Amino acid sequence: MDNSLHASMVPSLNISGLSVDFSKSGKNVESAQVRVGKLHAPVGRGEGKTLQQVFPSPIKLSIGDSFSLRVRWYKISAINWAAYEDIDLDTADIFRWFGASEEPGTREYNTAHKKFTVVLELSRNTETEQAEQSVPSSSEHLELQPTTDEIIRICPRFRILVIGNTGVGKSSLINRAFGVENATSSNIMPGEATIDHEFISKQNDRFVLHDSKGFEPGGKHNFDIVQDFINRRGKMPNLKDQLHAVWICFEIPRVGGRLLETATEAFLTLKRDGKLGKIPLVVVLTKYDELIKQVNYSLDDSSLKGLSKDDVNKLIKNKADTELQDICFEPLKKFAGLDIPYAVVSTKENYEEMMVYLIQMTEKRVREHVSTEASAMTSIAQRVDPHLNIQESIRVGKRRYWKALASSTAFQNRRMRDCLNVLHTDIVTVWNFCDPHHYLYSSEFRTLMVNMVDKLDDGPIADPNKTIAVGLPMVGTIAGIVSALSGPAAPIVVPIAAGVVLALWVYDVYQTTHAVLRRFMCYIIDLTLVLRTLYLLSENQELSRRAIKLAVASYLASPNSGDVHTQIQEYDRGLKPLEHADRDTLDKIAELMESNNIDIGAEAISKLRAQIAAVGLFPDEPWEDKKV
């Protein structure tokens, strides 16, 4: 029989597992991503020089799908350079092989690419085969695609140019803004890197940095280099290759000092006059903490008599702001005009609000002058403002899946599990935690979240007439819970164990009902607020299962979770017919996410993290303690 006929006998296959042996490649491989059509799924490290992944929800492979592996590896040198290698898999050959095989059940397909060996665990997709026989339209069988996949395809990284002389604090600024270490060339290879070089951090690969020294007094060479680079990038056809923002950094000068050199004045004038294109430019005034110290030292002790500590701090800040006006803001207004924003920052503790303002200003300018995809990647790449992550989750949700939860045609004929998975992927991707083991995408964490939703069906949890105070009181509640749970004595026991069987409704086909809508709303909001709690606990460190369990346990033990579920129940009881509920539902999700967000300042975050500093020092632990 002809091989093409064998292929046609197998309408679709399930990929339940995948492994890659790179022991002969000599490359420092870290992870991979399997790509089937528009579906992307992570593949983590196995034992030794292997990558290995089991897919609890098998990936469907159809005869016409594109199929590839993107392998991520690092070249070990003075700085770790991220590199990728795509392994294209021949879908037609896989189907011919499977159709010709007489072995029953799951079968292993082996193939080689250069010095990589790939093994797939395959089985016949009988559910899809039956569905294809009963539903003639093939368009309904396309995989649900996370909205973030399309955003990342168009703009995989936030691309930023940072300009500034050595010593102004560029490295600290980038490290703090994007939650990384040693992001810039100045600390690693002084004099060797050029402005065209792309710096990508292993700790956060959602941004790419271009680094440039500032403009020397009387010098024109670097001025021309920067101007040429900005113009070249502005002409590139693809958004992913264009610059999305420029930060030009200056250290706040001492009283009597000069902020801007002649070349810098000329550069700002070019931007003001529109000769550098649409690229957003933000002036960053660094080391505000040093200015505060200078003002403090200059105060006359006699002028402080009778003042409280708060009054003294207010006096110092007012004097510092007056000096900023004279030595920084007035020169900037002259050459930058009103259209070039500026931000005053310090990377020291207790100045986080300044970093938040810089990020918010940058994201706003990117959204207004570049594109929504670039602004989305700005929000995803940054790691100083969790509120921006929540706002971006809402924006991503509005694009496709959230805006029609009550009557979504995208979810018709889908299992609830698959619908929840695509919502889960979008939200987790937006938060961009340092999660090299993909714990937040794991079946165990997804199970935790699904089973948390089950509490919604148990009836009212909190008094609907008594809403908890969110903010500092909520932080105190979480701090107490965390302090009690985070000690080293025993593993953290999550109230809803990850190892239990998923609720039966997860295997049902999506239906337009009040119960389904409640569960979807609950899943979205609970997941977002758990990740918000995890942000408070993780402080941009590599995630462990222990930290994730601690965030889940803290959220569940707080009044916050019960209040959210009660508000969803109350909303559902007063909801008009579902066919008219989509707009109201989207607004309600955004309202509950915003109203239950823990909106706190830098000082409160510092105090909370001081209480849980030891959490990261403990060994990791399994999702479920078998002894419990």
Q: Residue 203's closest CA among 556, 586, 613, 538?
A: 538
Q: Residue 518's closest CA among 464, 467, 455?
A: 455
What are the tens digits of pLDDT across the range 34-57? 988 778 888 887 788 888 888 878
pTM across the whole model: 0.74
CA–CA distance from 340 to each of 212, 275, 286, 333, 422 (Å)? Answer: 19, 13, 17, 9, 39
What are the tens digits of pLDDT across the range 71-111? 887 765 544 566 777 888 888 778 877 776 556 677 888 88
Mean pLDDT, range 327-345, rounded to an integer: 82
pLDDT of 436 over the 80 cut? yes
CATH 2.60.40 residue ranges in the chain?
3-143
Structure confidence at residue 377 (pLDDT): 97
- Of 10-24, 359-373, 449-463, 583-597, give the lowest mean pLDDT range: 449-463
Q: Work out the pLDDT band at 296, boundaries 50, 70, 90.
A: confident
Higher-pLDDT residue of 125 and 199 is 199
CATH 3.40.50.300 residue ranges in the chain?
152-384
Highest mean pLDDT among 19-23, 66-70, 522-526: 522-526
pLDDT of 115 over the 90 cut? no
CA–CA distance from 241 to each of 163, 374, 379 (Å)? Answer: 19, 11, 18
Q: Look up tokens 């823990």; give the residue.
A: 598
Q: Residue 250's closest CA among 311, 167, 321?
A: 167
Looking at the DSSP assignment, which residues form a beta bridge with residue 361?
none
What are the tens digits of pLDDT across the range 223-281? 889 999 999 999 999 999 999 999 999 888 876 566 667 778 888 888 888 888 889 99
Question: What CATH number labels 152-384?
Answer: 3.40.50.300
Mean pLDDT, all residues of the chain: 79
Structure confidence at residue 606 (pLDDT): 60
- Kindly write down the DSSP assignment for every residue of 300-369, as one continuous string: -GGGGTT--HHHHHHHHHHHHHHHHIIIIIHHHHHHH-SSS-EEE---STT-HHHHHHHHHHHHHHHHHH
What are the tens digits of pLDDT across the range 179-199? 998 765 444 444 456 899 999
- Asked if 193 and 182 touch (Cβ cutoff 8 Å), the reply is no
Mean pLDDT, range 346-358, rounded to an integer: 89
Structure confidence at residue 625 (pLDDT): 64
Query: Has domain 3-143 been given CATH number 2.60.40?
Result: yes
Q: Work out the pLDDT band at 331, boundaries 50, 70, 90.
A: confident
Structure confidence at residue 609 (pLDDT): 60
- Measure CA of the first residue to CA of the last residue in the chain; give whole Å: 57
